[in-house]
A and B are shown apart, each in its own frame.
Chain A
């Protein structure tokens, strides 16, 4: 009797489609619950990104980089980008004044050069002789300048034009 009942029901295309739809939905739900990669996509990757994008739809490009790279890693880059023209040379203090705790990825010359491009990045202690450029800026840390360390200068970080 059950077999006849089933056969009769499946004669209707609507029922057949519903059966396939329900089975498809069950398979996808099981995948998203029990297969760790699909679980990560459905429950973490997509919701987290979609949530962030809908919360801050109008964030500027620089703010997005600032947010993703973190304050420590991008603070210096962000300040240089904001205060110097694109056609310029940026002089970075010697390696002895840079450390990963305070300067983040500034130690990484290639990484820094990407974000500052097309500005020319020159690490004071790594390049000999210095290239000549008509617009030179330097990043000062604790009173450092290409002329030496000026202890009377204000402490901290700033960007200043350098005229040799």
Chain B
């Protein structure tokens, strides 16, 4: 188990050697772990592509080669700095302890129960067992037409989670550990980035608390499904992009990397690509940098295409078999889709107060004549694109809208995790949220509040 985690840390640390200069070593460690899981999956995928068997020693050898090369080329990079701890009081502790308790519970529950939920059994964990035992990705599980049919679309998703679980199987460790690592790193990075973006630790803590108590999302923290890891990568990619008024090359590289990992976890995360590109083009970044940044995002498209071609070659089911492949106009279907989608957004038993709080923030922003669109547009664009994917799904067998287990009630519902997390981030980084939380922070502090000079003071600094 320790060896498995050390390899992830090594891979992540080597990848982020240059990007990590701007972080303290605790943040660097957490970022390395999250990056390591994505890099390991891509390396294993690449090794399998080159017909290298995915055994323990082969993975160690490939990781060592990859890490050594990157460390050699970045040998002149500075080491991460020492962390500076923010001043905390009882209010910070109150929210912090709440987060720790919830995280502790989800870790214990995750490690206690072996994988047995339907989507894991007939999906990610089954493929992982196949990889660990047969040492190839196109093993007897992934290429078995019966298993692929029985698993719905799950085995058609890219294999980031399955490859990570298989790495832990290969090491003889608990297959739930990847999810535990995802959760721990995510919670720390959410608090860190929102704190850096808003200059308010209380914002970081309260936002993180409300994100993880989202009922449906909290239940998934102890399961091995792909929706939450996608939301984790998307949210950190987004936060790395918005943390500074003018994102530099390192921030964009980190965003690209995490967006690629999200797309390598679930293909539908590709809807965030146009939103992120739009954000950069709408920002006040110089034109030359905008072009370079947009070119970096081609890496995401490469990952998406690579998996699509692989799936077409080896998996006995078409990735797009359940889609209508031409554009069409069906107002009845569209209306039903929007009605069902909006019903899900505002379902408090699934997402708690997330979408209500988002709507309230927008309404207050309009009432107080505050700017609110610059950060809302990418979120709305990706949500619209994500919903339209479901419009293109062929509903001939009534698979979309049935109450008991239609795709809207299962796949679409869980895919909203990314939007719930981005929604809460938006609430706390909008002008209204920033102002309120900073005032509250000042109210409970000794008039000495840390201000991150690189973070935008006002949302309008990001451009419209």
- Seen from chain A, the residues whose Cβ lies within 8 Å of a Cβ on chain B are 13, 16-17, 20-21, 24-25, 28, 31, 35-38, 40-41, 45-46, 49-50, 53, 61, 64-65, 68-69, 108-111, 113-115, 117-118
Residue of A nearest to B352 (CB): A37
Check B147–A110 contact: CB distance below 8 A. yes
The count of A-to-B residue pairs whose CB atoms sit within 8 angstroms is 93
Closest to A50 in B: B105
Q: Establish whether residues A64 and B151, one from each chain, have CB atoms under 8 Å apart when the complex forms.
A: no
Of the candidate stretches B27-35, B108-116, B184-192, B456-464, the one touching chain A is B108-116
Q: What secondary structure prevails in chain A residues at the interface with B? A: helix
Within the assembled complex, what's the spacing in Å between the Cα atoms of A118 and B353? 44
Q: How far is the CA of A41 from the CA of B218 in the complex (A)?
A: 9
Q: How far is the CA of A31 from the CA of B98 in the complex (A)?
A: 14
Contact between chains at B122 and A45 (CB < 8 Å): no
Q: Which of B94-126 contact A (CB under 8 A)?
A: 94-95, 98, 105, 108-109, 112-114, 116, 121-122, 125-126
Given contacts A21-B90, A37-B350, whether A68 and B116 have CB atoms under 8 Å apart is yes
Number of B residues whose C-beta is below 8 Å from A? 42
CB distance from B98 to the nearest CB of A (A): 8
| Min distance, Cβ A111 to any Cβ of chain B, angstroms | 6
Asked if residues A40 and B215 are in contact (CB atoms below 8 Å), the reply is yes
Identify which of B112, B113, B130, B219 contacts A45 (C-beta below 8 A): B219
Min CB–CB distance B90 → chain A (angstroms): 5
In whole angstroms, what is the CA distance A69 to B129 when docked?
20
Given A20-B440, A36-B349: A117 touches B133 (CB 8 Å cut-off): yes
A110 to B121, CA, bound (A): 9
Chain B contacts to A: CB under 8 angstroms: 89-91, 94-95, 98, 105, 108-109, 112-114, 116, 121-122, 125-126, 129-130, 133, 141, 146-147, 150-151, 213-216, 218-219, 347-353, 440, 443-444, 446
Q: How far is the CA of A86 from the CA of B415 in the complex (A)?
A: 37
Quick one: closest A residue to B122, CB to CB? A110
CB-CB < 8 A to A109: which residues of B? Answer: 146, 150
Q: Report how far A92 CA is from B413 CA in the complex, Å.
A: 37
Measured in the bound complex, the distance between the Cα atoms of B347 and A31 in whole Å is 14
- Nearest A-chain residue to B132, judged by Cβ: A118
Indicate if the CB atoms of B129 and A117 lie closer than 8 Å: yes
Among the interface residues A24, A25, A61, A113, which one has the most CB atoms of the partner chain B within 10 A?
A: A113
Task: State the 10 A-B residue pairs at the shortest beta-carbon distance, nearest first.
Answer: A37-B215, A110-B150, A37-B349, A36-B349, A110-B147, A37-B352, A114-B126, A114-B121, A118-B133, A61-B114
